Structure 1
Amino acid sequence: MSSDSAVMLRRNVKHTLRNPVAVFNAIIMPIVMMLMFVYVFGDAFNVGGGDYIDYATPGMLMMAIVYGLSATAIAVNSDMTKGIINRFKVMDVSRSAVLTGHVVSTVVRTTLALAAILGVAFLFGFSPTGSFLHWLAVAGVLLLVIVAVSWLTVAFGLAAKTQESAGFAMVPLIMLPFFSSAIVPADKMGPGIREFAQYQPFTSIIESMRGFFTGVPNDGQTLAAIAWSLGIAVVGYVWARSKFDKRA
């Protein structure tokens, strides 16, 4: 990471710590969702045997990733609409460092949320059987997904006209895990929703993690997860750079 990117990272982390709403959405809200679905509703879900916590944890990790994205979109839009970018240009700060700083800070914030989710999961009896190499594979999938959706979020923030619209633009992405296999298997959903859940990107990502956690990797879902993540990352990066070059 360049020195300019490191400066932008420190700046964004400080802004996040000063924003209780961002901290709540990024870290506390995923824990609340896990408590609700596992502790309150867990016995109501039939996932084909096994403890529900083992089934739900990969889905909760996916939710933890998307719940903090609104803060990133709003922060990016704020930089664009309040003239901060022009100040950076006068200070001779690298243009790419502004975007990279937002992406890296999102990765750091999301990593903390994932650690909190895993901690709560273990308290609830989460018992993965995967090996150390399987855990490394899970970490790789998660990192790739976080970077991909971070670039897409930055692009949404740059494209939005106001901070409010930037936050609202992330709602479909935040809701997407609910229409995946995060909470219940896709084949238990109603017609139409079932097909959508089976073929949308988050289901592949979640099922890939489930395979690694159980020690039985699902190669097809993992390849799909990697393909989806790379595609999202490329679209997000190209779109973000294009919008940034036009507006900055």
Structure 2
Amino acid sequence: MRTHVLDDTSTLFARSMRHILRSPDTIITTAVTPIAMLLLFVYVFGGAISAGGGSYVNHLLPGILLITVASGIAYTAFRLFTDVSTGIFERFQSMPIARSALLWSHVLTSLVANLAVVGLVVLVAFAMGFRSGAGLLAWLAVLGILVLFTLARPGSR
């Protein structure tokens, strides 16, 4: 039973990843927009805001990362809505696949896409002068928080 769920989830995960890679508006919104905001706030507005002696990108990056993840989560919700409204959920229910596979594939797609875009934004921030005194454990904690933020669902108690 477990391999059945894993096989179904991996197949639907590949489907969902293809949808993301074939959608330029998704790539622009989730990857290009946070980088453009980072560039805009650092190079256009950065001189107008006092950073307290440090680089402004050091203070800006955490907020941009949360905006990046939130944008990726919004696109996951949109893709789920599209699957429900087009009837793909009903079609998959008539097939012999694990019922949880469709939802898990969207969750994993969101996680992988968000981690890729967050990595890209952090690389751009490093190129812009971002420097951190945090060690490996602190960076792993940041990664864990971003993963939990990605996996959290609104209204959960």
Q: Is the 8 A contact 1:30 1:113 kept in 2?
A: no
1:104 partnered with 2:125? no
Counterpart selection for 1:65 from 69, 85, 93: 69
Q: Does 1:2 align with 2:10?
A: no
Counterparts of 1:67 and 1:83, CA distance in 2: 25
| 1:117 paired to 2:124 | no
When normalised by structure 1's length, the TM-score is: 0.58
Q: Quick check: 1:147 aligned with 2:151?
A: yes
CA apart distance, 1:79 = 1.1
User: TM-score with structure 2 length normalisation?
Assistant: 0.90
Partners of 1:29 and 1:67 within 8 A in 2: no
Aligned residue number for residue 32 of structure 1 = 36
Where structure 2 has 5 or more consecutive residues not aligned to the other structure, the ranges are: none
| Equivalent pair of 2:9/2:104 in contact (CA under 8 Å) | yes
- Which residue matches 1:14? 18
Q: What is the CA RMSD across the aligned residues, in angstroms? A: 1.5
The structure with higher relative contact order (CA 8 Å, sep 6+) is 2
CA apart distance, 1:134: 1.1
Unaligned residue ranges in structure 1 (runs of 5+): 153-231, 236-248
Count of residues paired in the alignment: 153
The percentage of counterpart residues that share the same residue type is: 35
Q: Distance in 1 between matches of 2:31 and 2:82?
A: 22
| Paired residues for 1:44-59 under 5 Å | 44-59=48-63
Matches within 5 A, 1:137-216: 137-148=141-152, 151-152=153-154
**Residue of structure 2 equivalent to 1:208:** none
* Equivalent in the alignment of 2:80: 76
Residue 68 of structure 1: how far off its partner (Å): 2.4
The separation in 2 between residues aligned to 1:48 and 1:92, in whole angstroms, is 60
- Runs of 4+ with deviation above 4 angstroms: none
**2:11 counterpart letter in structure 1:** V
